[in-house]
Amino acid sequence: MIELQRAAPADFPGVWDFYGRLIDGMEGLKCRPGWKKGIYPSEDFLRASLERGELYTAWLDGTLAGTMVMNHTCTPGYETIPWAVDAGPEEVSIVHALGVSPDFQGKGVAGQMVREAVRLARAAGQRALRLDVLSGNLPAQKLYTAAGFQYRGTVKLFYEDTGLTDFLLYELVLS
């Protein structure tokens, strides 16, 4: 069972190294999120997320097994989707950059992280949890669908690592 917690300032070097190793480990894989070292997730994005208390670490047996960011910030384009819940930004949590170490992939860590994200969002009184997945990233699509998220539509979103690309948007209604 993972232990998900808000990252502490002392965790940052490990988190930064984690994403670098994760991106290196995804090279050559057919299904991957499209992240690029130093571009996304960027050091600035992760540091700002840490400072705002939005960066989470998942620990398994004392080892950093996964990380993610959860906040209220969505990429321009989300507003074009017909969401099931009509809610303001502060009523919806958005999951970003959820990643699991290659050493722990296939062991249910990502599913546990998603369940913890749902628990945290519910505890905060959120009405929905949303996220986007790069078109073609089938493992992520299966993960979120299995966790109860509903596909809401595909839009072109711009991220510095992928450029303007098709992303599938998902929502889990919490209330």
- When pLDDT is averaged across residues 31-36 and rounded to a whole number, the result is 71
Q: Which CATH architecture is the domain 3-173 placed in?
A: 3-Layer(aba) Sandwich (3.40)
What pLDDT, on a 0 to 100 scale, did the predictor assign at position 26? 76
Structure tokens at 55: 């960066």
Count CB atoms within 10 A of the CB of residue 175. 11
Residue 22, Cα to own-chain centre: how many angstroms?
14
Measured distance CA(110)–CA(98) in Å, rounded:
8
What tens digit of pLDDT does each residue of 142-156 get? 999 999 999 999 999
Residues whose CB is less than 8 angstroms from the CB of residue 74 and which lie 6 or more positions away in sequence, other chains included: 89, 92, 94, 130
Domain extents in the chain: 3-173
Q: Can you tell me which residue has the tokens 């860590």? A: 109
| Dihedral sign computed on CA atoms, order 116, 117, 118, 122 | positive
> What pLDDT score does 162 carry?
87
Beta strands in the chain (DSSP E): 3-6, 55-60, 63-71, 92-100, 128-134, 150-159, 163-173
**pLDDT above 70: percentage of residues in the chain:** 97
pLDDT tens by residue, 79-101 = 999 999 999 999 999 999 999 99
Q: What is the 3-state secondary structure (H, E, C) of 71-121?
A: ECCCCCCHHHCCCCCCCCHHHEEEEEEEEECHHHCCCCHHHHHHHHHHHHH
Residue 51 three-state SS: helix
6 - beta bridge partners?
A: 56
